[in-house]
Amino acid sequence: HRNKSAAFPDERERTLIAIKPDGVQRRLVGQIMQRFEQRGFKLVGLKMLQVSEDLLSQHYCELRTKPFYPSLLDYMSSGPVVVMVWEGHKVVQTSRTMVGHTNPAEAQAGTVRGDFSFHVSRNVVHASDSPEGAQREIQLWFQSKELLKWECCDQTITCEDA
């Protein structure tokens, strides 16, 4: 009898993905969410909100000395965002690959940024950059009761022993 959690220690890894105000305005919510669903990740949290300056300053605290920081906060508070938590094996790294380079001019075609944007000031989507960063961001954006534990009907098909 094998210990499943030892064999797949990160099967419950989570990441925070946010569709930024330009993505919502441009009606890209459905297409972006579809990519994460079809890749096989599990949606465990989802909401739409107008983000407060307080939350944004905590979310982007590492960037506060950057020259673009004030315009980044203006951009991110210019309209509603859709924020979600996705769960699955190596979801942080895989999501970064799916989202593409920070600067859309460098992002490969096939990535969200590479398909839907061309300038770093309006790059459509946020994705956590490490498992530790994801944990911090998820706690910042979501209450634990907003994250749902549920069984996905295909989980024994898409990953051995998941």
CB of 81 to Mg ion, least distance (A): 15
Q: Pick the stretch among 9-17, 47-55, 64-72, 136-144 that binds ligand GDP (CB under 6 A).
A: 64-72
Site string for ligand GDP, 88-117 (x = CB under 6 A): --------------x---------------
If 0-12 CB within 10 Å is exposed, 13-18 middle and 19+ buried, where does residue 99 land?
A: buried
Please list, in sequence order, all residues whose beta carbon lies within 8 angstroms of the beta carbon of residue 28, skipping any fewer than 6 positions away.
19, 116, 124
Indicate whether 123 belongs to the interface with ligand GDP (CB under 6 A).
yes
126 belongs to the catalytic site: yes
Q: In whole angstroms, what is the distance from residue 104 CA to residue 113 CA?
A: 5
Contact track, Mg ion, 110-139, x by CB under 5 A: -------------------x----------
| Interaction between residue 72 and ligand GDP (CB under 6 A) | yes
Catalytic residues: 126
